[in-house]
Structure 1
Amino acid sequence: MSSAGEGLSRPLPEQVRLHVVELAAQVLGSMPAAAIPSQLRGIAKFDPRKRARLGSAPIAAMLETDKEFRETVAETLRSAWPDLVAGLADGVVPAAAEPVLVAAAAYLTRPPGWPELVERAREDLEQATSAEAGREQVEARLREQLATQRTAAKEEAERFREQVRVARAENADLRRRLHDARERAKAAERRAAEMEAETAEARARVANASGAAETEVRKLKERLADAERHLEASRRAAREGRSVEDARIRVLMDALQDAAAGLRKELALPTMISKPADYVSAVVPGAPSVRAVPARALADDDPQLFDQLLAIPNLHVIIDGYNVTKTGYPSLTLADQRARLLTGLGGLAVQARVEVTCVFDGAELNGPVQVSAPRGVRVMFSAPGQIADDLIRQLVKAEPSGRAIAVVSSDREVADSVRRMGARPVPSLLLLRRLGRT
């Protein structure tokens, strides 16, 4: 707002200008239509709440240029604040008057020296604004400090609460442990008392029984001495009798050996007689390799069957090799399967003293097979174009009628065919169980 020709070097302070415009807008609404300046008649029609906001610039300009309008507004101010206006006219500013009201009254009433009053009010307002800003900064800092202290206090309280919670938990745990320890101590005391009572009772029983035991020991020693004397006499008698029998048996054995040697020589028999299974044609170890034939395991509920068969004199056990290994350890390679089975069969042949023949399928020979046959175990591979089942049937057929033969295979077709030929089929699982006990 300009103050040309009126003594103001700077525009009215914003707070003073707003106050003056607000007062003029109120007066504008109460003025007769004819007295309202033509520039403000449109603004006078506005809602009282919008008049000062929407017509701020025109109202301020009219107050600056229209003396009559300004004096009309000043009369309203004079009637509202008579003491303030009178004091300003006399050059006295009330001590309690607000700077904004003093500057507005001086601007509207224009007493002598009113520009100085406006400037003084400006300085007071600037100081108040600066003080307010400083106060707000101080309040902001205090708020920040208070917030920081509250946060720190809250964190400290949380930490204390956590410590208290942990301490309470530890205290509860210690109390529980103490209770358990006391219970264990009481139980140990009771057990110690019981053991003391049992010890005393045992000592009494020992003391009572020691005399009877010593007497019994003496009797047993006497009986043992008598038994040793009788045993020594029996041993002497047995040695004398056995010497006579040994001599008789030796003479008989020598006679039988001489007779057998003479008969073999007279009949021109070979010294080493082969067994029937040795005459069946097959592929021996060291020839081309074979591929496995998948086995079909059949369960058996009689684990003692194989032990009973092994007890038969002159038994020939024919084994379907891959059928057994595929049942017992199919995850191994073929070479490892053969090695594991043959190792077990070697121990079985030594223990049971039976003839053992292990047959492997050689229908698809594709390379040399290195097999180390254990002592007492015959290892055979079926020839190219022949399966192990056929070789097993040939071995059974080659045996003399009436000889005990056991064929180990879980293949139903093999089992049915060898049963018709007079052999006893045995499931592979029974052999695996027997080897597991070897």
Structure 2
Amino acid sequence: MLGSMPAASVPPPLRGIARFDPRKRAKLGGAPIAAQLETDKKFRELVAEAVSSGWPELVASLAEGTVPPAAEPVLVAAAAYLTRPPGWVDMVEAARADLEQSAVVAEGSAQEQTLARLREQLAAQKAAAKEEADRLREQLKSSRSEISDLRRRLHDARERARAAEARAAEAQKEAEEAKSVAASAGNSTESELRRLRERLADAERQLEAARRAAREGRSVEDTKVRMLLDALQDAAAGLRRELALPPSIHRPADSVASVTPGRQGAQAVPARALADDDPALLDQLLALPQIHLIVDGYNVTKTGYGTLTLADQRTRLLTGLGALYAQTRTELTCVFDGAELNGPVPVSAPRGVRVLFSSPGQIADDLIRQLVRAEPVGRAVAVVSSDREVAESVRRMGARPVPSALLLRRLGRG
């Protein structure tokens, strides 16, 4: 009401309060406004006019000396104080009494509600406490049962531990007895072993004496045979020179069609590795007379040093095969796939090593099979390849397959 009054009508002490927010004005301006109403009759009359225009029925009833039964006590007291009808003091006092009675009734109702709420909370807490007590009883019962079970298990474990200790003591006793028996048996075995070694040494001495006697007896005959062989070799060499024969014989592998180094070639197929075989196999095969060793070139190089270029792979393998020929004088043929070659391949074949490339449209596996088929029946032929198909096919043709790892190990041994 104060904020809506014209500025000229607002008393000077209340003009600052008139600019307050309504909530702030109600909180901070109550006492100054009440004091101004008490001392400023004109201001009170202005406010009374505003109340009369706002609540005309209430003001009319108060002017007649009647208080409406449904009117709020606070509003009745304010209207009576401002309009000052006859008996307004009694009206204000009656309103104050109604307010006090209403406050007492409200306080009693609030206390009853609070008491009821507290009773409900107490009942809920009692129920929760009862549930918690029941739960704790169940847990206690379960814990007692678990403790009883654990005690029983502990007793059983102790019994088993005692039995195990007894068995361990018995086993230790048996082990000591067995050790004593083994020691006595070992002593007798060592004595027997010494006797056998002495007998073996005597037998070896007798065998060496017999061999020495046999060598001395054959020395004259061996000299005669050696002289005859030397004469035959010299005669054969002279006859070869006289007839202008080629220095070496034509072997079956020389008749197989292939691409020689330096000509157009075709592509390689990677090999599949097999498990290693007996390391002594290759040495036994190389010791056979007139054996022909056929090598699947790229299968060996890609097994041993596949990170190198193809040219470096070929060079490293052929160098090793040349050294192998110098040691064993075995006929060696190394076969390479030719499908990947885009031009002539500069390959320097070592002495005693035949180097072949498969023709266009042909893989090295087929060329290896042709080499095996070209050999006469009964000749020893070995094929070095870890390709399963190649190994199975040459085995059916009578050749002996050898894993690539064995040749690599033999070349590395030198």
Q: TM-score normalised to the size of structure 1?
A: 0.44
Q: TM-score, normalised by structure 2?
A: 0.46
